[in-house]
Structure 1
């Protein structure tokens, strides 16, 4: 649920406005004469919760959820990748709930800017995706969400009006976001004592949501290996040191290419 997504209140509210309203008030929007939203880009660094929020939205709206993880859809056989995409969109159109979310994780890995040097298979894949999105009918209650941390590398045809023309940016979590993420993570755990969440939120500047969540995994491992049933403040402090000591490397867009 939305309350299980720690931090980023403005991101959650914007996503709720764009997608939940799209599903629940579609007939009203069409009566007004508004064009349905086809595609939304979730942009931001890895580990900031883009896929997690997409799953929550699907659950909150009772929509069927189709997850495509970047290169996993690509086939070595000519025409097979485009056929997979067509079948995916056809399945979404036949959704029993009448609502569907198609989520492309790391879309930049399959839909980079087309150039003369681009592989022919890549050009065909992007062209097929554009054709499928342009073929949406008003009665088809489908929203395509795509995540990327390299939005500048996407083919410009994808980001023009009528396709992925809405963007929601996931920045690195602020202090308030980090504290909220830590509290949400602790909510489902067995704990004892006054956990130092505010101190950790202050000291974890630059951490992603995924790194903050990893802290609870470390704390739980220590608790279980020590034969105890509840996480205590010392476990959390040691877990913070362990996660802090993990190797961290920032990857630039040029390196990723």
Structure 2
């Protein structure tokens, strides 16, 4: 395996290095508390690792935020011995190295970013609501990071189960992670192969509406919001963009990455 450090890349702007195709927006906090929060958008889900690392590094707090992830897959691949050594060797203060690591070294099937972040204590407890029931374990687990900290890994089949767990927890900060393939019912991994079916728009809006108990809990504690578009697993780029459009129109006005972007529910107050 070639070490990406050997590529001797020259960055024209060392102060702004992100993985390929990533964008972020800095917005007022959705709770209306006067603070700010970042929303990051990318195609490859593993690039969320870059932002979790950057946000946790900037927080400079001993306890990292928990992760709430909505995804069709669990994305809970554990780092093996070699991968753990790569993570230990990663220079977390060098954005160029971290971006290259996400691109070249994290699993390109995008199933290893969560546990890699847990291993480095970049995120705390993990709450995953997903649909994938093909061969994955559904029992709660306990994972110890490289420093010996214990991280409960919890998996939920319904939003009601997720909501109940969060509302009774003591979590103070959360990274909200959304993979748009969560909104597929039938896809590559289900019977029927290339046929895709989708959650109805009304159900999507009902689940993610800012006024729900779940989203109010998340928005009150939001420390960062990552969105993976994953077009291959959404049935193509147009389908992925359609799902993204639903999410952005629900949350943002006039639009994400518009120079006047704001949380819609705040502007409508």
Structure with the higher fraction of residues in strand conformation: 2
Q: Give the helix-richer structure, 1 or 2.
A: 1
Return the index of the structure with the highest Cα Rg. 1
Do both share a fold (TM > 0.5)? no
